[in-house]
Amino acid sequence: MKKILLLFTLILTVTTTMKAALKIDRIDPTDWYVGMQNPSLQLMVYGPGIGSAEVTTDYPGVRIDSLVRVDSPNYLLVYLNLSGAQPGEMKLQFKNGRQKKVVSYRLKSREKAGAARQGFTNADVLYMLMPDRFASGSDANDQIKGMNNYVVDRSQPSLRHGGDLEGLRQHLDYFVELGVTALWFTPVLENNSPDNNGFSTYHGYATTDYYKVDPRFGTNDEYRRLVDEAHQHGLKVVMDMIFNHCGFEHPWVKDMPSHDWINRPGWLKESKGSSDPTGTSFLQTSYKLTPVVDPYASEVDKRETVEGWFVPTMPDLNQKNPHVMTYLIQNSIWWIETVDIDGIRMDTYPYADAKGMARWMKILDEEYPNFNTVGETWVTEPAYTAAWQKNSKLSEENSYLKTVMDFSFFEKLSQAKNEETDAWWNGLNRIYNSFVYDFLYPNPSSVMAFIDNHDTDRFLGNGCDSLMLKQALALLLTVNRIPQLYYGTEILMNGTKEVTDGNVRKDFPGGFPNDSHNAFTKEGRTKAEQQMFQWTSRLLHWRQGNEVIIKGKQTQFIPYNGIYVIARQYKGHTALTILNGTTKHAIMDIKRYTEVIGDTKRAKDILTGHYYDISKDLELRPRQSVILEY
């Protein structure tokens, strides 16, 4: 009887298997490009039991290099070589036992050569914003059926407010009027995490699909349209990406491709009710980035930084696994080719495995030599950020990362704004001292500086001191850096993170239906907003294409009589930034600056149009900022 039962079960199993067609749920990347310098392509094929399938193709010029079977039976990594392939529909035959399936995979031609892609440089000014908080172009995408629970409620600083890509597209003229040349907005990829337990999703830093724009923000096509129209407006677009972690609702969490796909996955197992036999229990990152470069770092500290999770809802990806890294590298290339972005901003840079990230940057550099990526390197010591820049001698291995972020400038300015500039260390002396360390950077003009962003207090804090803000912007926009502005600073938006991050991420006035106040137009701005907007806009337009600022030699003078002076000089032209770092009238002793003034007598203040006689000492009003041109 037992034998008969066994036979029956066996027959039943075989018939079921034969009946069920081979199922493939998705293939990443969704399509690809021929004619890349690197002809290798990883396909991540996902479907029930696909891991044991064989794959063949007779598409001309395509060779299957290897099949990688990972721990989960539902993934198959197919490595192809496309070196001789032409664009077209490539048929891939999958065979698993007696089951077969033919899949059509699109190979596209590239729109332009890699070298033709010009990234952002110090000739640009990046305007950083959060799509959810900037402008809504449609209410139709506020609620999307089937997505994890979230609420659109503009009265709640940590919930979604309904901004989207269409809203951004409708305001491209605003950026042109302001005079910025590039937009960097926080991530737009699908972030299908629930808004709960204090975790917010509006910021987009918990990706759940690397190949799809979040429907609340729009579609992939809308993203492409936005980039195209931005280009028509002379604006570049920088895409925010995150390789360090993904969102907890990413399919990789439910069905981990391999045991080492995610760092410290023990917690995932614990949360499923089993014990943690691998000893890889959940680890929170220490948020301390120093162990990554510290010559004396202990292993435990290094592990905590790099393998620890950013927050429990963001699983830490293991970039040491070459398959993980290849997936991410291809993803960045796919977005460059598919939506024509001009740059990448990489989140939480030092939290990811440095070697894996260097491999990414090297591959991008080879494919797109003129493209640019900025890495978030949040340590306030110049030596630290300098070590992360491409070709740094301070680091054992080349990072190939062209642009790093100047958190030192940000920090020093945040202190200086509340101080009187004295004869030693306070006030603008801090900025002077920070720039001294530019000798550490292989390329100071490719360092990005900023005075505030979505993760910091706004420059104005809870106040409205536009005099100090003007000093900060005068510096930011004339020094040897790639400047980045944060949305709303130009119209005096303020706020601190003290209560909630949402307070530094308020809605741009006029971006949402029924806004009573519209700062997008001159008529809608208050008098104070308009004054600040106009001042900033004048400076930004003056900066555009200005070779003195883009290519000029920089000379700085130790603050004297409370006045800090920086000169930029190129081909006989000079721009002189003069800041009175005190709340008193101050006299600029003009003779100290002879080496940059020479016998010039008249200079134009680019902010007011007034001319100054610079053969005589200048008297400056409290906190006055002057940018002279001669």
Task: Please list the active-site residues.
Answer: 347, 376
Distance CA 41, CA 33 (A): 9
What is the DSSP secondary structure assignment for residue 206, as one 8-state letter? S
Contact present, 465 and 625 (Cβ < 8 Å): no
- Smallest gap from residue 243 Cβ to Ca ion (A): 9
Q: Identify which range of 208-216, 302-310, 415-423, 568-576 contacts Ca ion by CB under 5 A.
A: 302-310
Tokens of 360: 């990414």
Contact present, 560 and 589 (Cβ < 8 Å): yes
Q: Which residue has the tokens 């000893």?
A: 279
- Smallest gap from residue 93 Cβ to Ca ion (A): 38
Tokens of 578: 């003069």
- Smallest gap from residue 307 Cβ to Ca ion (A): 6
- Smallest gap from residue 310 Cβ to Ca ion (A): 8
Reported as type and span, the H/E element at residue 230 is helix 220-232
Tokens of 159: 């919930």
What three-state secondary structure class fits 592?
A: helix
Q: Identify which range of 25-33, 238-246, 406-414, 540-548 contacts Ca ion by CB under 5 A.
A: 238-246
355-372: buried (b, 16+ CB within 10 Å) or exposed (e) per residue?
A: ebbbbbbbbbbebbeebb
- 284: which strand partners? 309
Q: Which of 179, 194, 143 is nearest to 164 (CA)?
A: 143
Distance CA 164, CA 112 (A): 28
Q: Phi and psi dihedrals of 394, rounded to 5? A: -80, -10
- Smallest gap from residue 256 Cβ to Ca ion (A): 16
Residue spans of beta strands (DSSP E) within 454-509: 482-486
Q: Phi and psi dihedrals of 469, rounded to 5? A: -60, -40
Please identify, using beta-carbon distances, which residue of 159 and 354 lies nearer to Ca ion.
Answer: 354
Q: Identify which range of 162-170, 219-227, 348-356, 428-436 contacts Ca ion by CB under 5 A.
A: 348-356
- Smallest gap from residue 305 Cβ to Ca ion (A): 8
Q: Count of residues binding Ca ion (CB under 5 A)?
A: 4
Please identify, using beta-carbon distances, which residue of 347 and 507 lies nearer to Ca ion.
Answer: 347
Q: Identify which range of 136-144, 240-248, 296-304, 478-486 contacts Ca ion by CB under 5 A.
A: 240-248
Distance CA 177, CA 206 (A): 33
Tokens of 6: 């066994």
Please identify, using beta-carbon distances, which residue of 263 and 536 lies nearer to Ca ion.
Answer: 263
Q: Identify which range of 143-151, 300-308, 456-464, 576-584 contacts Ca ion by CB under 5 A.
A: 300-308
Please identify, using beta-carbon distances, which residue of 135 and 306 lies nearer to Ca ion.
Answer: 306
List all residues 6 or more positions away from 527 whose beta carbon is below 8 Å from its beta carbon.
none
Contact present, 398 and 371 (Cβ < 8 Å): no
Name residue 522's amino acid: K
- Smallest gap from residue 260 Cβ to Ca ion (A): 13
Q: Identify which range of 192-200, 312-320, 470-478, 548-556 contacts Ca ion by CB under 5 A.
A: 312-320
Q: Identify which range of 16-24, 345-353, 363-371, 585-593 contacts Ca ion by CB under 5 A.
A: 345-353
Per-residue x/- mask for Ca ion, residues 86 to 125, rule CB under 5 A? ----------------------------------------
Q: Phi and psi dihedrals of 255, rounded to 5? A: -135, 85
What three-state secondary structure class fits 470?
A: helix
Per-residue x/- mask for Ca ion, residues 122 to 141, rule CB under 5 A? --------------------
Distance CA 167, CA 135 (A): 5
Please identify, using beta-carbon distances, which residue of 284 and 433 lies nearer to Ca ion.
Answer: 284
Please identify, using beta-carbon distances, which residue of 247 and 511 lies nearer to Ca ion.
Answer: 247
Per-residue x/- mask for Ca ion, residues 32 to 71, rule CB under 5 A? ----------------------------------------
Distance CA 594, CA 189 (A): 53
Q: Which of 50, 30, 46, 71 is nearest to 262 (CA)?
A: 71
- Smallest gap from residue 518 Cβ to Ca ion (A): 42
- The number of beta carbons lying within 10 Å of the beta carbon of residue 270 is 13
Per-residue x/- mask for Ca ion, residues 521 to 540, rule CB under 5 A? --------------------
- Smallest gap from residue 34 Cβ to Ca ion (A): 33
Please identify, using beta-carbon distances, which residue of 329 and 627 lies nearer to Ca ion.
Answer: 329
Distance CA 552, CA 572 (A): 10
- Smallest gap from residue 318 Cβ to Ca ion (A): 8
Please identify, using beta-carbon distances, which residue of 244 and 332 lies nearer to Ca ion.
Answer: 244
Can you state the percent helix, strand and coil of the chain, rounding each to 5?
30, 20, 45
Q: Is 316 in the site for Ca ion (CB under 5 A)?
A: yes
List all residues 6 or more positions away from 200 whose beta carbon is below 8 Å from its beta carbon.
158, 159, 501, 502
Q: Which residues ranging from 184 to 213 are in contact with Ca ion (CB under 5 A)?
A: none
Determine how β-strand 553-560 pairs with β-strand 618-620.
Answer: unpaired
Reported as type and span, the H/E element at residue 413 is helix 407-416
Q: Identify which range of 78-86, 272-280, 343-351, 593-601 contacts Ca ion by CB under 5 A.
A: 343-351
Please identify, using beta-carbon distances, which residue of 286 and 503 lies nearer to Ca ion.
Answer: 286
Q: Is 351 in the site for Ca ion (CB under 5 A)?
A: yes
Per-residue x/- mask for Ca ion, residues 465 to 504, rule CB under 5 A? ----------------------------------------
- Smallest gap from residue 294 Cβ to Ca ion (A): 17
Please identify, using beta-carbon distances, which residue of 172 and 344 lies nearer to Ca ion.
Answer: 344
- Give me Rg for the CA atoms of the chain: 27
Please identify, using beta-carbon distances, which residue of 359 and 604 lies nearer to Ca ion.
Answer: 359
Distance CA 478, CA 484 (A): 12
Residues that bind Ca ion (CB under 5 A): 244, 306, 316, 351
